Amino acid sequence: MTRLYVSSVLALSTVLLAACGGAEPEAFDPVDEEVIAVIPEEIVEAEDTTAALAQPPSAITVEVPEVNARRGRILFTVKGCVICHQVNGVGGTAAPTLSASRQPDSINPLTFTARMWRGAAAMTQLQNIELGYTIELDDQDFADLAAFAESPEEQALFTLDSVGEEMQTWFLNDRYWITGNWEEYKSRGSRIPTIESE
């Protein structure tokens, strides 16, 4: 609660009451300076909120991971993106291609992440069907995949031979989720092959 000293307010009230034809006020003990009025907290909070909203927000430091397109190229295979997405003519065709047409002046990993977010519900659901689990990506993974998706130079190094023969058998060129016929595809196994397993 907010507290307000009111000795002068009470004195002024007495004078105004008399001036307006009111009855003579009864004598009262002098107001102790420690007597206070209590203002409901919600009124004070509303005033504070209004004042705060009138001010611009404080600046916040933004940290962005350093991007590495080379690491992004490796992640594109290891994390299984290549199963559904194609780059440089390599990969599945069940999802949109991620081939880059030109080298941009700059990249924004958040733009790439936002694109993934729009398709996240479908991607994670399909990963659970295709793989039996959801692929995990951290902030550095997103940044590096974004760099790879925007780098024609690094994408030119992405070849069928660099993917590995076992991973090639995982490429999805048919939309199995439409027919529901996953049995033959699932016979390949339930874990993405790693570089070590090839």
Supply 82's token pair.
């290549």
The answer as to whether 197 is a domain residue is no
Confidence of residue 177 (pLDDT cuts 50, 70, 90): low
Render pLDDT for 43-57 as a digit per residue (tens, 0 to 9).
556 667 788 778 888
Q: What is the pLDDT of residue 172?
A: 84
The answer as to whether 45 is a domain residue is yes
| Angle (CA) 134 139 142, round 5° | 70
Q: Which helix (H) or strand (E) holds 91?
A: strand 90-91
The answer as to whether 120 is a domain residue is yes
Mean pLDDT value of segment 5-22: 48
Our count of domains for the chain comes to 2
Specify the range with the lowest mean pLDDT, choosing from 125-139, 144-158, 170-184.
170-184
The C-alpha atoms of residue 40 and residue 191 are separated, in whole angstroms, by 62
Phi, psi of 111, rounded to the nearest 5 degrees: -65, -45
Confidence of residue 122 (pLDDT cuts 50, 70, 90): confident
Cα of 148 vs its chain's centroid, Å? 21
48 is in which domain, residue-wise?
Answer: 2-53
